[in-house]
Amino acid sequence: MTDKIFQPLPKSYLNIDKATKENGFTMPSDILTCSMLRTLAASKPKSKFLELGTGTGLSTCWILDGMDNDSKIISIDHNKSLLQIAENFLGQDKRLDFVCEDGQTWIKANLKQKFDYIFADTWHGKYLLLDEVLEMVNKGGFYIVDDMLPQANWPEGHQEKAIDFVKKLERRNDIVLTKQHWATGIIIAVKQ
Ligand SMILES: C[S@@+](CC[C@H](N)C(=O)[O-])C[C@H]1O[C@@H](n2cnc3c(N)ncnc32)[C@H](O)[C@@H]1O
């Protein structure tokens, strides 16, 4: 077995990938992570999904590809021009709601919302407002993060933040989690 993906890619993936490269955006989720996101998404029919950090929509298109027709996803980013790329390729999908807002503002205004699947791929919901976002995960729901192994673009001091973040997750008694030394470093947690 190798990591190579032989199953069909999401319809918009190659076009979004091309637009992402043309844009020069350097922080998209990698394809292995995206493939895992799709697989996990397929385990949650009729569910509510949340993505914090849309970027150009690369991870969004894989999550959508795993979701069934009765599910909905909200995806948030504060960068209008990145969101525009995602909107161009995915905006016609009725299951999807893009929100252009600061993560902190959106989370604080939506604390009562509950989700079955949260992919936290920005500051808020991961390094900031973690408790608030974990509170939004339904029992049995996924909380997923990537980029937990040292990355070339990490600023100085980020590694310590990442280590603290993992410790915080491991101290909680309302989730079970698995750390994967694979792709960019993944944590999959499930709310109990
Ligand atoms: C790691 S990237 C997300 C990549 C995306 N999941 C993908 O596959 O392309 C993090 C994103 O967080 C967004 N971001 C950074 N600070 C933010 C904030 N305060 N509020 C909302 N979004 C923010 C950035 O614009 C960036 O697109």
Most informative mutation of 23, 27, 129 for ligand 1 (most atoms within 8 A of CB): 27
Contact 10, 93 (CB under 8 A): no
Confidence of residue 57 (pLDDT cuts 50, 70, 90): very high
Most informative mutation of 16, 32, 54, 81 for ligand 1 (most atoms within 8 A of CB): 54
Average pLDDT, the chain: 97
The CATH architecture of the domain made up of 13-191 is 3-Layer(aba) Sandwich (3.40)
Is residue 59 over pLDDT 90? yes
Strands (E), 16-164: 48-52, 72-77, 96-100, 115-120, 137-145
Index of the ligand 1 atom closest to the CA of residue 82: 27
**Ligand 1 pocket by C-beta < 6 Å: which residues?**
27-29, 53-56, 58-59, 76-79, 82, 102-103, 121-124
Cα–Cα distance between 179 and 94 in angstroms, integer? 33
DSSP result, 75-101: EEES-HHHHHHHHHHHTT-TTEEEEES
Nearest Cα to 51, choosing from 69, 74, 30?
A: 74
Is residue 153 over pLDDT 90? no
In this structure, the chain runs to a length of 192
| Residue-level pLDDT at 39 | 98
Verdict on whether the full-model pTM lies above 0.75: yes
